[in-house]
Amino acid sequence: MKKKILIIDDREENIYSFCQTLERIDSVEIDTCKSGPEALEKLLHQRYATILLDVQMPGMNGFEVARYIRQNPKTEDIPIILISASHTDEIDHIKGYESGACDYITKPVNPMLLIKKVEHSLSKSRSLEQILLQRAMKAEQEIEARKDSEALKKVSEAEAAIERFQDGLEDIAYLISRDIQMPVMTMKHKIREMQKMLQSGQPATDLWQPLYRLYKQINSMDTMVFAVQNYCKVRSRELEKQSISLSDVIRQAWEDITLNVAASEARLEYGELPNVDADPVQLRMLMLHLLGNAVERSNEDSPVVRILSRQQEGFTRIEIEDSGEVISQSSRDSMFQIHKPVETSMPGAGFTLYLCKNIVEAHGGKIGVEDTTSGRGNLFWFTLQSATSAA
The answer, yes or no, to whether residue 132 has pLDDT greater than 80, is no
How many residues make up the chain in this entry? 391
The predicted structure's pLDDT at residue 391: 43
| HSE-CB for 319 with a 13 A CA cutoff | 16
pTM assigned to the model: 0.45
Sequence ranges of the domains in the chain:
3-123, 237-389
Report the SS3 class of residue 308: strand
Superfamily for domain range 3-123: Response regulator (3.40.50.2300)
Report the SS3 class of residue 379: strand
* Number of Cβ atoms within 10 Å of the Cβ of 152: 13
Residues 171-187: what's their mean pLDDT? 58
More confident residue, 184 or 81: 81
Listing DSSP states for 5-54 in one string gives EEEE-S-HHHHHHHHHHHTT-TTEEEEEESSHHHHHHHHHH---SEEEEE
Superfamily for domain range 237-389: Histidine kinase-like ATPase, C-terminal domain (3.30.565.10)
Tens digits of per-residue pLDDT, 232-247?
A: 665 556 778 899 999 9
Interacting residues of 9 by C-beta distance below 8 A, sequence separation 6+ = 15, 18, 32, 34, 52, 54, 57, 83
Q: Residue 348: pLDDT band by 50, 70, 90 thresholds? A: very low
The predicted structure's pLDDT at residue 380: 94
Residues 43-70: what's their mean pLDDT? 90
The Cα 219–Cα 124 span in angstroms is 15
Q: 37, 70 in Cβ contact below 8 A?
A: no
Tens digits of per-residue pLDDT, 189-236?
A: 677 777 777 778 777 677 777 776 666 666 656 655 665 665 566 555
> What is the average pLDDT score of the chain?
78
The answer, yes or no, to whether residue 373 has pLDDT greater than 80, is yes
